[in-house]
């Protein structure tokens, strides 16, 4: 059975800082990129930024080649268990703003009566100037 890591263990002991090993998670697998980071065509910094985190989205969004996936496989050293520590917390659903009612639908607003006022006005003018004979 392969070695198991938790996210808190990874982010504390394997974050690549202060000469610590650099591990992160891709598709549920823990990869050891301590040595590979120097050879990474995309640079060392981007990998350092993922230390101890779930890098699946970052890895997939770049559109890495099959060769990159082969290297990824060769670097796998274990599995991750438990929930990821959320680096970018989602706002709770309840904080979403309620849609505000549109002002034109307010009762008693003058704009609701505008068509009626216009029709009466036009009728009055037409009557006054003898358009109806």
The answer to whether 46 contacts ligand HEM (rule: CB under 6 A) is yes
The answer to whether 28 contacts ligand HEM (rule: CB under 6 A) is no
Total number of residues binding ligand HEM (CB under 6 A)? Answer: 20
Under a CB-based contact definition with an 8 Å cutoff, are residues 22 and 37 in contact? Answer: yes
**Cα–Cα nearest to 52, from 72, 74, 33, 75:** 33
Site for ligand HEM in 79-118 (CB under 6 A): none
Residue nearest to ligand HEM (CB): 42
The answer to whether 123 contacts ligand HEM (rule: CB under 6 A) is no
Q: Which of 10, 22, 25, 55 binds ligand HEM (CB under 6 A)?
A: 55
Cβ neighbours for 132, distance < 8 A, ≥ 6 positions apart: 126
The answer to whether 37 contacts ligand HEM (rule: CB under 6 A) is no
Closer CB to ligand HEM, 55 or 80, in the complex: 55
Question: Cα separation of 14 and 109, whole Å?
Answer: 64
The answer to whether 22 contacts ligand HEM (rule: CB under 6 A) is no
Q: Which positions lie near ligand HEM, rule CB under 6 A?
A: 26, 31, 33, 40-42, 46-47, 50, 55, 58-59, 62, 64-65, 67-68, 71-72, 75
């Amino acid at each position: 059975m392969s070695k198991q890591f938790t996210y808190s263990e990874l982010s504390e002991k394997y974050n690549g800082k202060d000469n610590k090993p650099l591990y992160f998670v891709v598709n549920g697998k823990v990869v050891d990129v301590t040595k590979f980071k120097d050879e990474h065509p995309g640079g060392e910094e981007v990998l350092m930024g993922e230390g101890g985190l779930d890098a699946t989205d970052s890895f997939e969004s770049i559109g890495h080649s099959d060769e990159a996936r082969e290297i990824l496989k060769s670097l796998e050293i274990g599995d991750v268990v438990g929930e990821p520590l959320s680096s970018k917390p989602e706002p709770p659903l309840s904080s979403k703003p309620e849609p505000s009612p549109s002002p034109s639908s307010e009762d008693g607003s003058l704009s609701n009566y505008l068509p009626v006022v216009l029709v009466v006005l036009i009728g009055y003018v037409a009557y006054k100037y003898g358009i109806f004979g």
